Structure 1
Amino acid sequence: MSQSHSVARRYFLKTTAAGIALAAAGIAPRRARAQAETIRIGFPVPLTGPFGTEAKDQVAAAEIAVKEFNDAGGLGGRRAELLVRDDKLNPGEAATRTQELIEKDKVHFVVGSLSAAVQLSVNAVTKARGVIFVSISQSDAINEAKDWSKYTFHEALNPHMTAGAVGRYAFPKFGKRVVFLTADYAYGHEMVRGFQRAGQPLGVETLADLRHPLGTTDYSPFLPRIQALKPDLLILSNFGKDQVNSIKQATDFGLKKTTRLVAPVLLYTARLGGGPEAFEGVVGGTSYYWRLEEKVPSARAFNDKFRAAQGGAVPSDYGALGYAGVRSVLTAAKGAGSTDPEKVITTLRALKYDWYKGAQYYRGCDHQAVQSVLIIESKKAGAMKNPQDVFDIVHIDPPDESTLRSCQELGHKA
């Protein structure tokens, strides 16, 4: 070997070693940063507008799930963060905020929504970009093949489940002549269809389906007609402030003397806002009520965490959904050892969980959470043990896939 060749070779080895050392020095911090990268969860909910009270409860409960995850060490030291955005109960606004969360804030997952139409808008953005979306409000359409994708998980009940459970309880007890007072958007329409489907084999008759705009404050134009129809049941397929206002005005008008008031989703927050006199005797459904803690250990554990974080307050039904949606996706990420969507989807699909109300799991074809439906009745003031004791749980429909629309009906392959 010539002297010049030997010198060249030593120079090559020296510079190569130095290059590797420099590269390693640069790569190691980048790898460490990637391993410690915060797990970001986008959380679009309507903080302003008629559902603002429920949305704020969703945020409060979701933060508890994030804290639990972080306190337990996160995912290999990676902590989670909740990025809350106000979708203003508007599908266009929700799409914009969700796109920003994905493209600007680089969220790994999206959890949220509090409207059937809004969640479909969020879902359209997330599925186009391959981001997991856990919906925490009611919708039938989100389970249907035309709107669904493998990235879509539905933690909430859906109108078919809720209206079916309430109808099966209420129609045999209270009568079969029905008037609907319906908020004129997807949620209200889906609830009516759910009741009508449950009532068909029981011979239930729809006398009228009276529709009102979202955010209506004056229901007096509807009440004389409802009274003249003499229904056994007035079913109020609305939500939030609409539910409070319509129930209060129906009570003041005297409809309860001849007609039982029923709400497919009877809200804890609405009952607090409307008071015991207006809501007395109203029957409805819910995914959660805090007094479930008397029978279900996970409910007590969740309630205690919420009380500690919120000065003794108890969580609402939609607050519980915020907690469950975030806890599910973080648990799946931890189980998968990754935030990679394909790995997390696989783990979510296999998840059997009991976060706050008893056993649940996601059905394979549409990722609908199979879960119980609680039937509740609003208590009179004299029967309340404390200001939070507003409902009696009168029946629980257990988790059962047979109460869901079939996968084939939804357009999914068998």
Structure 2
Amino acid sequence: MDRFDAKTPLKTPPTAALSRRGLLKGAAFGGAALIAAPAFLRSARAQSGPIKIGFPVPLSGPYSTEAQDQVRCAQIAIAQFNDKGGLNGRMAELLVRDDKLDPGEAATRALELIESDKVNFLCGSLSASVQLSVNQVAKQRGVIYNSISQSDSINQVSDFSKYTFHEALNPHMTAGAVARYAFPKFGKKVAFLIADYAYGHEMERGFKRAGKEFGIEDVVEIKHPLGQADFSTFFPRIQAARPNVLVVCNFGRDQLNLVKQATDYGLKQQMKIVFPVLLFSQRLAGGAGPFEGVIGGANYYWGLESEYASAKRLNDAYRAKHNNAVPSDYGALGFAGVYALLEGAKKAGGTDPDAVIAALETLKYDAYKGEQTYRKCDHQAVQSVLVVESKPQAEVKGPNDVFKIVATQPAGDQFLRSCQELGHS
């Protein structure tokens, strides 16, 4: 089994390795200096010093590969802002913390960033449950938080506050887009294999809700724990149900392990394998063979550079900094989340939370794939969703040429749950 941790770089394509220690050391320097400063200097700096963005992400654990790329891309957003002179001379800083994919650890790190490091904003997280923990801390202390991980709950009135923004896609959008493409093409008998936590359950709900339109039949449903090593024990039950489509709602290394084992087991010859999110990073790690023909959703693919100047700008900046590699899908969310916060600060003329909230609610921005907005009622980023298919080796033209975009769901409120359904008046 291929192993990746916070100290292991992606091997294909070549990219600049960022160790967990290096990420934390470099990003935290400005915050440490602020803590040591006298009280009157801290107060002055809060008004006119650096614009500080706290960035808790799981640099250790099964999602570390994606988290490291979120940091790389967030650093690009910071650099581009500073290269343009910042905000009236105020430069931006990124303060990275390892949330270890644990809600309690994430809450502790978020509190530390707010109270000790005096960040202006928070951005980050890579788990549905972890982001809710960070959001609770942020809203209680009046700090704007822009989440870059999928969640349906964060937009609901029970978890939402005026300080809550959600740059990432949500499961309703993502699963819906993939379902509307896959079920009419591949069949109505559907098996579900889901990671047994919020991400898996919300994605499954999104598929089933969209599937009602096509009359899908749920033939079997199996749950697995996060970090499952052996998926083969589930395969006989799936085969016995004779599905046309196997929907797998998991993420990170779980996705890679599942695809490899399903290929070895011959499952792909019997059914179409579909993910709500098909990860660029895991496809690079796994290679063309295991992933061939697998379908999934994505917020971003570097090939959009042929259509959007903003995608090419991000890709070129990443290539220049990381040995001609390209940003991943979830990495791009790290860029977009920080980019939007800084654009909001520029529009507001400062970092006052209420002014920035008002600016973000009316902001039209093109971070990396065309124009986006935040819906006012729940601060969800209204954006396109890509449906991608992994290419066979014979069609691959280079180390990064791994997917073809087979469908695009355009940005639109009609693909979101209504404000009323989420509990907003």
1:300 aligns with 2:316: no
1:54 aligns with 2:62: no
Correspondence list, 1:9-408, <5 A: 36-408=48-420
Deviation at residue 32 of structure 1 after TM alignment: 7.2
Distance 1:412 1:35, change over 3 A: closer
Displacement over 3 Å in runs of 4+: 28-36
Deviation at residue 75 of structure 1 after TM alignment: 1.3
Structure-2 separation of matches of 1:399 and 1:118: 26
Deviation at residue 228 of structure 1 after TM alignment: 1.2
Letter in 2 for 1:153: F
Letter in 1 for 2:258: S
Unpaired runs of 5+ in structure 1? 1-27
Deviation at residue 376 of structure 1 after TM alignment: 0.3
Contact conserved, 2:289 with 2:392, CA < 8 A, in 1?
yes
Contact conserved, 2:375 with 2:382, CA < 8 A, in 1?
yes
CA offsets, 1:132-189, max 9 Å, x none?
A: 0000010000010000000000000000000000000000000010111100000000
Deviation at residue 294 of structure 1 after TM alignment: 1.4
Contact conserved, 1:57 with 1:315, CA < 8 A, in 2?
yes
Structure-2 separation of matches of 1:394 and 1:206: 25
Deviation at residue 42 of structure 1 after TM alignment: 0.3
Contact conserved, 1:36 with 1:79, CA < 8 A, in 2?
no
Alignment partner, residue 23 of structure 2: none
SS in 2 for 1:408: coil
- How many residues are matched? 386
SS in 1 for 2:194: strand
Structure having the higher Rg: 1
Deviation at residue 363 of structure 1 after TM alignment: 0.4
SS in 1 for 2:232: coil
Distance 1:29 1:174, change over 3 A: closer
SS in 2 for 1:377: strand
Letter in 1 for 2:387: I
CA offsets, 1:292-322, max 9 Å, x none?
A: 1111221111111111111111000111100
Structure-2 separation of matches of 1:49 and 1:212: 17
Deviation at residue 30 of structure 1 after TM alignment: 9.1
Deviation at residue 338 of structure 1 after TM alignment: 1.1
SS in 2 for 1:333: helix
Contact conserved, 1:35 with 1:78, CA < 8 A, in 2?
no
SS in 2 for 1:236: strand
Letter in 2 for 1:152: T
Alignment partner, residue 20 of structure 1: none
Distance 1:149 1:256, change over 3 A: same
Contact conserved, 2:186 with 2:272, CA < 8 A, in 1?
yes
- Identity value in percent: 64
Distance 1:77 1:35, change over 3 A: farther
SS in 2 for 1:111: strand
Contact conserved, 1:75 with 1:337, CA < 8 A, in 2?
yes
Deviation at residue 215 of structure 1 after TM alignment: 0.3
Deviation at residue 375 of structure 1 after TM alignment: 0.5
Contact conserved, 2:78 with 2:338, CA < 8 A, in 1?
yes
Deviation at residue 273 of structure 1 after TM alignment: 1.3
Letter in 2 for 1:249: Q
Structure-1 separation of matches of 2:356 and 2:303: 33
Structure-2 separation of matches of 1:289 and 1:140: 23
Alignment partner, residue 23 of structure 1: none
Contact conserved, 2:56 with 2:99, CA < 8 A, in 1?
yes
SS in 2 for 1:222: helix
Aligned-residue RMSD, C-alpha: 1.3
CA offsets, 1:19-60, max 9 Å, x none?
A: xxxxxxxxx999975654111100000000000000000000
Structure-2 separation of matches of 1:244 and 1:169: 22
SS in 2 for 1:221: helix
Structure-2 separation of matches of 1:371 and 1:303: 19
Structure-1 separation of matches of 2:371 and 2:88: 27
Unpaired runs of 5+ in structure 2? 1-39
Contact conserved, 2:46 with 2:118, CA < 8 A, in 1?
no
Structure-1 separation of matches of 2:43 and 2:137: 30
